[in-house]
């Protein structure tokens, strides 16, 4: 018999693994001859995890899937779909998912759909959407979906090197989840840009235009926010405002970009509805309303003013999610999902 339609599909459980090795950003500043505070205050990072020669994305994924199944006592036969998001190329054809099948084959479960999704950091979210869509669809057979996001982020010597990191995250997907998705309200943005890419298949280093990647990211964030707000208004019959959300989580390659991203959302929210904002916000952000989009991405004064206005809300609604990304560093596909791994010592 087909299972009843699933409601409130989302993340039932998650686990994270990151390597035990890390570099203190303060020590890296000294080693690189960077000015004191550039990586810790300037980029907002504390430590950077890295894989030693006995670890890689496959071993990290095997570990995190095994620990998730054990901790939550999930029978491996109960997994019906396994999706992996990664941009760390191990093989040009054989998927990371196929390595993970070792865990399930032992229990006689080879009937598992899904493959790897690769598109820089977005691959993890694509994998998650694939699993959520499956559970919400007619193809769902009543079993769990499992999503694995894993990457080892390493950069060549230079300004991007302190923004590396490594980790794997596994998420169990099913109905009636404590973190459920409002699938009708997703806003996406995708464009053809050469800001971050890996054209040399023999090298683990990306080619990155750091400044362009920041601007592209903020532009994408703005468009996603606009798309989300339009859908929210259509669906809910009222305007969305930042005060409607309890918490915000961001892709976190380095904490400064998270601070800038939230400040950008505060400015976009102000532009959508200036009349509803308080006097201080009007005074600080009002002078920037005449800037074109392009000018606004380049304006350092706007960046500073919106960070100032955003600070109290950032402390309340964003900062609680920043602990692990600041300690581990960029995890590419796993970066945003590390935000929702709050250590038990920090949980209220």
Ligand X SMILES: CC(C)(COP(=O)(O)OP(=O)(O)OC[C@H]1O[C@@H](n2cnc3c(N)ncnc32)[C@H](O)[C@@H]1OP(=O)(O)O)[C@@H](O)C(=O)NCCC(=O)NCCS
* Residues annotated in a binding site: 213, 256, 260
Q: Does 160 bind ligand X (CB under 6 A)?
A: yes
How far apart are CB 26 and ligand X at their closest, in Å? 11
Burial category of 2 from C-beta neighbours within 10 Å (exposed 0-12, middle 13-18, buried 19 and up): exposed
Rule CB under 6 A: choose which of 36, 71, 77, 235 binds ligand X: 36
Residue 270's H or E segment, with its range, is: helix 255-272
Number of residues that bind ligand X (CB under 6 A): 21
Decide if 251 is catalytic.
yes
- Which residue carries 């100032």 as its tokens? 308
Nearest to ligand X of 175, 253 (CB atom): 253
Question: What distance in Å separates the CA atoms of residue 94 and residue 58, rounded to the nearest whole number?
Answer: 12
Residue 22's H or E segment, with its range, is: strand 22-24
How far apart are CB 204 and ligand X at their closest, in Å? 15
Question: What distance in Å separates the CA atoms of residue 299 and residue 190, rounded to the nearest whole number?
Answer: 24
Q: Does 328 bind ligand X (CB under 6 A)?
A: no
Decide if 29 is catalytic.
no
Site for ligand X in 43-62 (CB under 6 A): 43
Site for ligand X in 225-264 (CB under 6 A): 253, 256-257
Express the helix, strand and coil content of the chain in percent, nearest 5 each.
Answer: 45, 15, 40
Output phi, psi for 220, to 5 deg.
Answer: -65, -40
Rule CB under 6 A: choose which of 37, 274, 287, 343 binds ligand X: 37
Annotated binding site for CoA: 213, 256, 260
Rule CB under 6 A: choose which of 140, 217, 232, 240 binds ligand X: 217
Rule CB under 6 A: choose which of 5, 41, 179, 245 binds ligand X: 41
Site for ligand X in 190-209 (CB under 6 A): 196, 208
Nearest Cα residue to 249 out of 205, 314, 308, 157: 314
Per DSSP, 119 falls in state B
Question: What distance in Å separates the CA atoms of residue 186 and residue 224, rounded to the nearest whole number?
Answer: 8
Decide if 149 is catalytic.
no
Site for ligand X in 124-153 (CB under 6 A): none
Q: Which residues bind ligand X (CB under 6 A)?
A: 35-38, 41-43, 159-160, 163, 196, 208, 210-211, 213-214, 217, 253, 256-257, 330
Active site residues: 87, 121, 251
């Amino acid at each position: 018999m087909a299972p009843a339609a699933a409601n409130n599909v989302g993340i039932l459980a998650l686990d994270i693994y990151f390597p035990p090795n890390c570099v203190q950003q303060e020590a890296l500043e000294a080693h690189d001859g960077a000015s004191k505070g550039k990586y810790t205050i300037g980029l907002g990072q504390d430590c950077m995890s890295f894989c030693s020669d006995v670890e890689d994305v496959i071993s990290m994924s095997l570990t995190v899937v095994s620990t998730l199944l054990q901790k939550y006592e999930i029978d491996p036969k109960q997994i019906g779909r396994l999706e992996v998001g990664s941009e760390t190329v191990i093989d040009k054809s054989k998927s990371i998912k196929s390595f993970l099948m070792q865990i399930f084959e032992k229990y006689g479960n080879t009937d598992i759909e899904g493959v790897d999704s690769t598109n820089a950091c977005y691959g993890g979210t694509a994998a998650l959407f694939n699993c959520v869509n499956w559970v919400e669809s007619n193809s769902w057979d009543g079993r769990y979906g499992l999503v694995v996001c894993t990457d080892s982020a390493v950069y060549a010597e230079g300004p991007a090197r302190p923004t590396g990191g490594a980790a794997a995250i596994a998420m169990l997907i099913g109905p009636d989840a404590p973190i459920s998705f409002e699938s009708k309200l997703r806003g996406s943005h995708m464009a053809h840009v050469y800001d971050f890419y890996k054209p040399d298949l023999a090298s683990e280093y990306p080619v990155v235009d750091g400044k362009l990647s920041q601007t592209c990211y903020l532009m994408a964030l703005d468009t996603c926010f606009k798309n989300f707000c339009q859908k929210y208004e259509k669906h809910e019959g009222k305007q969305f405002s930042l005060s409607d959300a309890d918490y915000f989580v961001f892709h976190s390659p380095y904490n400064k970009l998270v601070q800038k991203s939230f400040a950008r959302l505060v400015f976009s929210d102000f532009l959508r509805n200036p009349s509803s904002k308080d006097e201080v916000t009007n005074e600080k952000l009002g002078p920037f309303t005449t800037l074109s989009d392009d000018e606004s991405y380049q304006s350092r004064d706007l960046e500073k003013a919106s960070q100032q206005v955003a600070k109290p809300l950032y402390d309340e609604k964003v900062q609680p999610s920043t602990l692990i990304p600041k300690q581990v560093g960029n995890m590419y596909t796993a970066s945003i999902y590390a935000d929702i791994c709050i250590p038990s010592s920090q949980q209220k």
